[in-house]
Structure 1
Amino acid sequence: MKRLNVGLIGAGRMGAFHGETIANRLPQATLYAVADPVPGAAEKLISQLNVNTKAYTDPMELIQDPGVDAVVIASPARTHASNVLAAIKNGIAVFCEKPMAVNLTEANEIVEASEERNVLVQVGFNRRFEKGFKAAHTEIASGKIGTPQLLKSTTRDPKLNRAETIPEWTIFLETLIHDFDTLMYLNPGAKPVEVYAVADALIRPDLKAKGLLDTAVVTLKFDNGAIATTEANFQAVYGYDVRAEVFGAEGMITAGGIRESSMTRYNQNGVSFDTCRYDQDLLFDAYVAELSSFVDCVIHQKPVLATAEDARWALKIALASIESVKSNLPIKLDQHILV
């Protein structure tokens, strides 16, 4: 069977991880090319991976390379939409890190273009590929806990790094976007109808005037009656904390955690265990599984598990959250055009 030639756009932190996965962990794929506009970045990653791969500084040149079968986009968030659209227009299957887009005009264009041209687009909502979250979804979808009534989703990053460089509204567009998708994933078939959000700069209050919000809580109401809350914070000193809970009419499901392993320490100091401090440690298997699934879907022409439409819904919630923070009011999703 022909291996899938994958082009990688973005050689930064996440791009490097995905590049290593494509090169070394996916038997059905080949890392065919790497593109990064930073001079030497693509070559540096290729050298680190010790692979014979093309290097580009212009992502468009990679997308237009006739040898590329699919692209993985791990460039900065504000460049995602243009790269995705370029790939779609060239008929190339796309895996894109979240967020797929940062406004609804771009998101709508991607959804419409992918449907019109029948091009596969998968978005990097990694929790859909984490074993615990997948098992939770299966249990809930099969009715094991009855109709979901209360949902929670949490993302707490271990450390606030380079705070001065974080773009405005990142906590909604790049962090809580995972939680918004998680809440929809764990409330199958339901759609959000109202959003209310509060946010502040509690870690770095000195940066609030520059647009940094490092702590947020969002409440959502769904059309099946369920009420959900999600929260994010950029500095949990105890580790990288990703969890979810769904309470239903006939029981409750929890997923996620923070442990580095199942080992628990008992000694004179009490009971303790080691925690993960990095997303690529806590979600290593999920990051690999999402790309493995993408490659399999492209080769066998199967539907992806995290679609452009899923990404559009998560973005709608993120944009409604931003509007809610600005207005200090609940936002009804069917009454607002969010662009």
Structure 2
Amino acid sequence: MSASVAVGLIGAGWIGRFHGESVALRISGTRLVAVADPAPGAAASLIERVSPDARAYTDALELITDPTVEAVLISTPASTHTDLVVAAAEAGKHVFCEKPMALTLEDADRAIGACAANNVALQVGFNRRFAADFTAAHDVITAGGIGTPQLLRSLTRDPGITADVASRVKPWTIFNETLIHDFDALLWLNPGARVVEVFAQADALIHPQYKEQGYLDTSMVQLRFDNGALASAEANFQATYGYDVRGEVFGSGGMVSAGEVTRTAMRHYSSPGVLADTPRVNIELFHDAYVAQLVHFADCILSGRAPSVDGLDARNALEIALAAKESVETGLPVSLLAVPQ
């Protein structure tokens, strides 16, 4: 293997384009050698901008079997993730997969098993672990700086969703693709503990006309850990002021918090009031974290180390997401005590 990793990108949508740009232009340890997307011209358009010598495919499996590709970056719709992870692993390619890695625990186990059997690295895109403030909070907690975690909170608020987009949102997206970030963050910020009970409430408050088809835009989830800690995770798709992600852990010896609703400390004081530099999308708020997670992926491949956020982490967060779905459906708390880790 060379001093840089030859990466093939599968999926040239908005997040895929950002990852492709990072691989090609922002990270010294990676090269973008191929892009696959079924949409006519999507792969070629990205390649033309950032890596003119890369190859364009419409078939992901052709990219996976390309002998020059050493690692595969998957940023396709969630329902395709597991099969692509397995195909890449069986072809001997290292895998970075956007969350969720799978939509069932059986598929999560299939993805984990394929990567283990073929001795390839598997990293999942939980970018908050690579944000400087969240990393600092985690380091304080693991060093004993707040004592034993007792109360935890994590939230995600997206800056608006149109009726057209809401009509196309897959059922349970709020748990599987939004709050799954919060579930992972809460597990990470309570090291060594596992969730034993989940109680969730959710509704369609912004576009109620789509609730019958499974659309939900507002949720509050309560978690109980086996070390006694209690946590809440909340999400909403109508933060009119901008993209908002925060976390907090209160412990027996103190508290840490992470997350800001602005990119900088700049404030503009004028006649309309006080204005701040508020990001509208996640790749603005978490720009550096999105890049840092791919730097970590490349470093792990080049050094032979295991990624710090892997398939088991993805499975653990998915387990909570699936329990939240069940809780909404039944109106009751869901116990995870019987689920093996």
Q: TM-score range by the shorter chain?
A: over 0.9
- Choose from 301, 325, 336 the match for 1:333: 336
Matched with 1:156 is: 157
Give the drift of 1:45: 1.4
Rounded to whole Å, the distance in 2 between the matches of 1:93 and 1:24 is 20
Give the drift of 1:271: 3.6
Is the contact made by 1:128 and 1:305 (CA closer than 8 Å) also made in structure 2? no
Is the contact made by 2:32 and 2:51 (CA closer than 8 Å) also made in structure 1? no
Structure 1 residue 165 and structure 2 residue 168: aligned? yes
For 2:213, the aligned partner's letter is K
What pairs with 1:207-226 in structure 2 (closer than 5 Å)? 207-226=210-229
Matched with 1:294 is: 297
- Choose from 149, 170, 177 the match for 1:174: 177
Rounded to whole Å, the distance in 2 between the matches of 1:176 and 1:4 is 31
SS of aligned partner of 1:257: coil
TM-score by length of 1: 0.97
Matched with 2:70 is: 69
Structure 1 residue 281 and structure 2 residue 297: aligned? no
Rounded to whole Å, the distance in 1 between the matches of 2:283 and 2:225 is 31
Q: Could you give the per-residue CA deviations for residues 36-84 of structure 1, whole angstroms, max 9, x where no partner exists?
A: 1122211121123252110111101111111110010001111111100
In terms of mean alpha carbon deviation, does 21-30 or 313-322 score higher?
21-30
Give the drift of 1:305: 1.6
What pairs with 1:32-51 in structure 2 (closer than 5 Å)? 32-51=33-52
Matched with 1:233 is: 236
What pairs with 1:113-124 in structure 2 (closer than 5 Å)? 113-124=114-125
Distance 1:22 1:296, change over 3 A: same
Give the drift of 1:270: 4.5
Is the contact made by 2:248 and 2:256 (CA closer than 8 Å) also made in structure 1? yes
Give the drift of 1:267: 4.1
Matched with 1:136 is: 137
Give the drift of 1:268: 5.0
Rounded to whole Å, the distance in 1 between the matches of 2:298 and 2:104 is 27
Matched with 1:314 is: 317
Give the drift of 1:321: 0.3
SS of aligned partner of 1:173: helix
Matched with 1:105 is: 106
Rounded to whole Å, the distance in 2 between the matches of 1:270 and 1:171 is 33
Structure 2: runs of 5 or more not aligned: none
Q: Could you give the per-residue CA deviations for residues 207-238 of structure 1, whole angstroms, max 9, x where no partner exists?
A: 11121101011000001110000000011001
Rounded to whole Å, the distance in 1 between the matches of 2:25 and 2:276 is 31
SS of aligned partner of 2:72: strand
SS of aligned partner of 2:53: coil
Is the contact made by 1:194 and 1:333 (CA closer than 8 Å) also made in structure 2? yes
SS of aligned partner of 2:107: helix
Q: Could you give the per-residue CA deviations for residues 109-129 of structure 1, whole angstroms, max 9, x where no partner exists?
A: 112222232211000000000
CA RMSD, 1 decimal: 1.3
What pairs with 1:11-90 in structure 2 (closer than 5 Å)? 11-90=12-91
For 2:194, the aligned partner's letter is K
For 1:134, the aligned partner's letter is T
Rounded to whole Å, the distance in 1 between the matches of 2:12 and 2:101 is 18
Q: Could you give the per-residue CA deviations for residues 10-59 of structure 1, whole angstroms, max 9, x where no partner exists?
A: 01111000000001011111101000112221112112325211011110
For 2:330, the aligned partner's letter is S
Rounded to whole Å, the distance in 2 between the matches of 1:78 and 1:269 is 45
Structure 1: runs of 5 or more not aligned: none
- Choose from 256, 267, 272 the match for 2:259: 256
For 2:77, the aligned partner's letter is P
Is the contact made by 1:216 and 1:231 (CA closer than 8 Å) also made in structure 2? yes
Give the drift of 1:3: 2.1
SS of aligned partner of 1:179: helix
SS of aligned partner of 1:334: coil
Rounded to whole Å, the distance in 2 between the matches of 1:73 and 1:313 is 20
What pairs with 1:172-211 in structure 2 (closer than 5 Å)? 172-211=175-214
Q: Percent identity?
A: 53
Rounded to whole Å, the distance in 2 between the matches of 1:318 and 1:54 is 37
Q: Could you give the per-residue CA deviations for residues 248-302 of structure 1, whole angstroms, max 9, x where no partner exists?
A: 0011100011113111233455444221111111000000000111011111111
Structure 1 residue 265 and structure 2 residue 307: aligned? no
SS of aligned partner of 1:285: helix
Rounded to whole Å, the distance in 2 between the matches of 1:107 and 1:116 is 14
Q: Could you give the per-residue CA deviations for residues 289-338 of structure 1, whole angstroms, max 9, x where no partner exists?
A: 0011101111111121211000000000000000000000000012469x
